[in-house]
Amino acid sequence: MSEEKQRKMALRRDAGFRKPKEPAPNVYGPEYAMSFACFTCKTAHKRHFDVPPCDYPKSMECPVCKDKMANVGRYFKAPKKSDESQWKKVRFLVDHGFLFQHVYELKEDGGHYRVDYPKTLSEARDFVIKYKEQAWQVPL
């Protein structure tokens, strides 16, 4: 074996030793906290789990009222408790499988772009029909 080859193998071996054996803890840090919305309390709770975001539970028990809360993702902004119509809209969307996951509109050229979530309940009624193929099954 040539010296050059031996040197390269040693380098590769050293590089291998430097690799951590276990994945670093908190690979998915607190920035991956998801909001869970409770429709009974009309509030959202942030939760962080040490699993990839796609493995987060779709629902969990509300710590206050024990009702089921829906995982509405990282970007959910809870309406004010007093804002009945916004909470109605959120509930309607979640009931139809829209948990604030990204929803896309296909373009004629084959591309796609992200669509904004509806601002009102009446917009939401059209939204859930138009994008029903992208709805999720939610065990609420």
Residue ranges that bind Zn ion, judged by CB under 5 A: 38, 40-41, 62, 64-65, 67
CB of 40 to Zn ion, least distance (A): 4
Q: Quick one: 51 or 64, whose CB is closer to Zn ion? A: 64
Contact in structure between 89 and 78 (CB atoms under 8 Å)? no
CB of 62 to Zn ion, least distance (A): 3
Among 105, 37, 32, 102, which Cα is nearest to 72's?
37
* Complex with Zn ion: residue 80 or 132, whichever CB lies closer: 80
In this structure, the number of other CB atoms found within 10 A of the CB of residue 38 comes to 21
- Cβ at position 133, least distance to Zn ion in Å: 31
Contact, 131 vs 115, CB < 8 A? Answer: yes
Closest to Zn ion by CB, 27 vs 65, is 65
Q: What is the dihedral of CA 114, 118, 124, 129, to 10 degrees?
A: -20
Closest separation in Å from C-beta 66 to Zn ion: 7
Considering only CA atoms, which of 88, 95, 90, 96 is closest in space to residue 132?
Answer: 96
Q: Which is nearer to Zn ion, 43 or 98 (CB)?
A: 43
- Of 10 and 65, which has the nearer Cβ to Zn ion? 65
Least Å from the CB of residue 11 to Zn ion:
57
The residues facing 106 across adjacent strands are 112
